[in-house]
A and B are shown apart, each in its own frame.
Chain A
Amino acid sequence: MTATLVRAGRWVTGHLVMFVALLVLFYMFLPIMVVVLMSFDDTADVAYQFNGFTLANWSDPCSSYGMCDAVAKSLQIGLLATVGATLLGTLMAFAMARHHFRGRSIANVGIFLPMASPEIVMGSSLLALFVSAGFAGQLGFATILIAHIMFCLSFVVVAVKARLSGMDNGLEQAAMDLYANEWQTFWRVTFPLVFPGIVGAALLAFSLSFDDYIITNLVAGQSQTFPMYVWGVSRREIPPQINVIGTAMLLVSILVVVMAEVVRRGRNRA
């Protein structure tokens, strides 16, 4: 009797947790469903209401004035910032995970601090630096890029380090036992093993860069990125084309992740 009760209790708690979890996921996806829906809306409006179905926004996303320029700028900055942050961050992650050096705890704090600083503080301090260094008139692409590499860096270090410290050292030792030198061991064993972690970190860096508004807005000068464009139109009529970009970003990222998963499974089977 009690055993049945306990079992029933466990079933309820088990499924209750899952039920709550699914509700929370629904909460996370509710606005995304709106974004997808609104990408098919046929008029720009202030109230952000669905007025009627059309495919026009998808066939001609650039019809919203200035938007595609902003998207292009965000893509350029995103790609460059991703390359920069991934390169610097991966090197740092290797140092942190694989090498002994003095000042390690200071380095740890230094890497954690940017993640623990409000964006408004980082943005305003960079602006203060650029202004006092006499660059107030030259704010733009370069200053945005500098800022983006800075705030993406810590996230890359943390992501790659997590991958490195979860790795089995035995494989590298085996390679060395089989007379591979350090260089060969690195390129043939270590790097391929860490690579998925680096890709994950790069994706994270790109999405952080592409999406940033608060810091970018402070150091952008006259340049306009996509989030700045969205902010600008959010006070006026909201063109449905911005939702096309939002939906397309989501689709591309899901595609990338699915492809990565397919490659991984294929490799595991081989």
Chain B
Amino acid sequence: MTAPAPFPGGGGADDQQQPPPPRRSRTGYLLLLPGTLWLLLFFIVPLVTLVSTSLYDPAGTLETGYQLTFAFGNYVDAIDDYATEFTRSLLYGGLATLFALLLGYPLAYAIAFRAGRWKYVMLLLVIAPFFTSFLIRTLSWKMLLADQGVIVEVLRFLHILGDDGRLLATAPAVVLGLTYNFLPFMVLPLYASLDKIDVRLIEAAGDLYASPPQAFRRVTLPLSMPGVVAGTLLTFIPAAGDYINVELLGTPQQTMIGNRIQSLFGAGSYPAAAALSVTLMLLILAMVMLYIRRAGTDELL
């Protein structure tokens, strides 16, 4: 195993632990330059273009061209027309993140503390799904969740589903698909931060008469918070913007905002699509900032 931790727990945590040697030279800037230029040109500049596109006159088309008329009305329309889709995206994304955390934490914990010499094998198993196409795996869920599929049959037998109950083409199927697809993004940062914990701290809690649940709540969990924060963000953000799971596992009744942005771009309604896209980005940024602030204070307690 070469790189078991592509995602380290907190963004700048490594820097604090090991300050880089004081080499203040021009080399640093030179090394940074090509990559920075690439990100500037193809990430930052496009974002600015997206914002200005969102303010174009919505009457424009690809053929007649677009005019920047500061049409803030695009945003009003976007929020008016697509409020349900926005809410649904945040709700499904949030649920998927919660489930991914509930499933991912025990897995990451087991890999970090209980796997022994199977540690790297288990890590490899977590990363392996990455190497079979995301779309093909989602198509397999379509087969697994189908009305004649094993899962539905079992759930019907157990009376968890009614006799005509189904899974495919429902909201639970979409949330299941989202949880599934982004689970590795939750497990890897969780593992990275759990693995850094000094086991002696947990043992010390036990020596001081903390029960295992107490030791977990007061020692392990707080120390793994950077991983929880990084993992939930890396899961929530792509999940809220996804439209593939809805297309393959849901119906138009579960349409998320990603579907709308994609279809508006496809239809050439660039200003409206851009306004939706910018709104999504702002919503996500706002939630992320709120969340980081909350998580930050929790960490201090």
Contact = CB atoms under 8 A, between A and B. Distances in A.
Interface of A: 9-10, 13-14, 17-18, 20-21, 24-25, 27-32, 34-35, 38, 47-49, 87-89, 91-92, 94-101, 105, 107-108, 110-122, 124-129, 131-132, 136, 146-147, 149-150, 153-155, 157-159, 161-163, 165-166, 169, 196-197, 199-201, 203-204, 207, 210-211, 213-214, 217-218, 226-227, 230-231, 234, 238, 242-243, 245-247, 249-250, 252-254, 257, 260-261, 264
Given A125-B47, A199-B2, A226 B8 contact: no
A48 B141 CA distance: 10
Contacts of A147: 42
Contact of A116 (B18, B32, B110, B237): B237
Given A17-B109, A163-B3, A211-B133, A128 B243 contact: no
Nearest to A247: B132
B137 interface: yes
Given A31-B180, A91-B32, 10 more contacts: A18-B114, A28-B183, A95-B29, A120-B241, A121-B277, A159-B3, A211-B130, A213-B135, A227-B134, A254-B124
Contacts of B111: 21
A232 B7 CA distance: 32
17 contacts: A24-B183, A28-B125, A35-B140, A96-B32, A97-B14, A100-B28, A101-B24, A120-B243, A129-B45, A132-B53, A155-B6, A162-B14, A213-B135, A227-B133, A246-B132, A254-B124, A260-B2
B273 interface: yes
Given A100-B22, A121-B241, A121-B281, A31 B50 contact: no
A87 B192 CA distance: 25
Say what secondary structure dominates the interface of chain B.
Answer: helix
B301 interface: no
Most A CB contacts (10 A, CB to CB) among B109, B113, B281 go to: B281
B110 A243 contact: no
B217 to A, nearest CB: 13
A18 B110 CA distance: 6
Contacts of A118: 237-238, 240-242, 258, 280-281, 284
Contact of A257 (B31, B124, B136): B124
Contacts of A21: 106-107, 109-111, 114, 122
A24 B49 contact: no
A48 B1 contact: no
Interface residues of B, number: 103
Contact of A264 (B2, B113, B132, B237): B2
A243 B136 contact: yes
A62 to B, nearest CB: 17
Given A35-B136, A117-B281, A153 B31 contact: no
B35 A35 contact: no
A207 B183 contact: no
Nearest to A195: B2
A97 to B, nearest CB: 6
Contact of B131 (A47, A243, A250): A250
A195 to B, nearest CB: 9
Contact of A92 (B35, B109, B133, B234): B35
A128 B46 contact: yes
A38 B128 CA distance: 18
A154 B35 CA distance: 9
A9 B265 CA distance: 57
Contact of B133 (A88, A107, A249): A249
Interface stretch (B74-82, B142-150, B157-165): B142-150
B136 A150 contact: no
Contacts of A201: 3, 6
Given A25-B122, A120-B258, A136-B62, A125 B39 contact: no
Contacts of B238: 118-119
Contacts of A28: 125-126, 129, 180, 183-184
Interface string B92-122: 0000000000011011011101110000101
A261 B120 CA distance: 10
Contacts of A231: 135
Interface string B5-19: 111100110110110
A119 B183 CA distance: 17
B166 to A, nearest CB: 14
